[in-house]
Amino acid sequence: MIEKLKELFKYRQLIVTLVSRELKARYRGTVFGFLWSLLNPLLLLAVYSIVFAVILRNGNGRIEDIDLKGVDYAIFLFTGILPWLWFSSSILEASSVLTVHGNLIKKIRFPLEVLPMMVVFTNMVHFLLGLPILIAMIIFFGKMVHLTWWLLFFPVALAVQLVFTLGLCFLVAALTVHFRDLKDILSNLLTLWFFATPIIYPFMTPSIQNHKALVWVLTLNPLTHIMEAYHYTFVFGRLPHWKKLPVTFIAGLLMFYLGYLIFDKLRDTFVEEV
């Protein structure tokens, strides 16, 4: 596996070139260019803020120490939506990346593993482009939310999500070549995964902690601890649960190993299937 990782590192310039080409192709001919990458998270932010902060707000109007009626909940929500869109978009695009780039797969010397990596890093660029908006919201509109030194913990959360997402994208990309139905099922699975992840609600609310089965499900979800790391870093201004994130990183490494192993085992069959 170490040798395989060394090979992936050799392809770093090719990955950068493919990501750059993908970004330019996606926004070629548009007026606002990369600003369109912010449209989707901002629309989701508006919808969920209205639904949960206005229509369905609870009696006292608060979730933990976030004002459910004010902009602080929007900050909390936006902090979770940005990494979720990076994750979900990567999974959905990875499910078709091998068939879409079938012409590259048929080239003898082309390294196939760079295609799922291209998808992940392209969507990571969109995620990073949204961070200045989040930081601006905190600085100018946050009432109880303020930037702290724990913001320096952000690269750790980013690295954990990157490893986990890469592994899952390798797995999805390899399996959907042989099982085309998986691509149609993924959108429903991701919807379920979204609501099973503390993005629109904090994990530590009493209403959740009082249900042991729900706590158990959320604890086993790797994205729970990744999202909590972002929320603690940007919103709560505290150190994330230092015991949970390393375990999540180990789970991400296992996912990366499993995903790449299956991808490598099936690579010889891709040409026939696409």
Q: List pLDDT tens digits, range 46-94.
A: 777 776 666 555 544 344 444 444 557 888 888 999 999 999 999 999 9
pLDDT value of residue 51: 67
Percent with pLDDT over 90 in the chain: 39
- For 158-212, write each residue's pLDDT tens digit: 999 999 999 999 999 999 988 888 888 998 999 999 999 999 888 877 778 788 8
- Tokens 């729970």, residue? 224
Q: If we measure between CA atoms, which residue out of 115, 114, 123, 121 comes closest to residue 88?
A: 123
Which of 124-138, 202-216, 237-251 has the weakest average pLDDT? 202-216
- The region of weakest confidence among 143-152, 246-255, 261-270 is 143-152
Evaluate if residue 272 carries a pLDDT over 80: no
Tell if the pTM clears 0.85, that is, is over it: yes
Geometric angle at alpha carbon 234, from 228 and 236, rounded to 5°: 70
Number of Cβ within a 10 Å radius of residue 11 = 15
C-beta of residue 79 within 8 angstroms of C-beta of residue 45: no
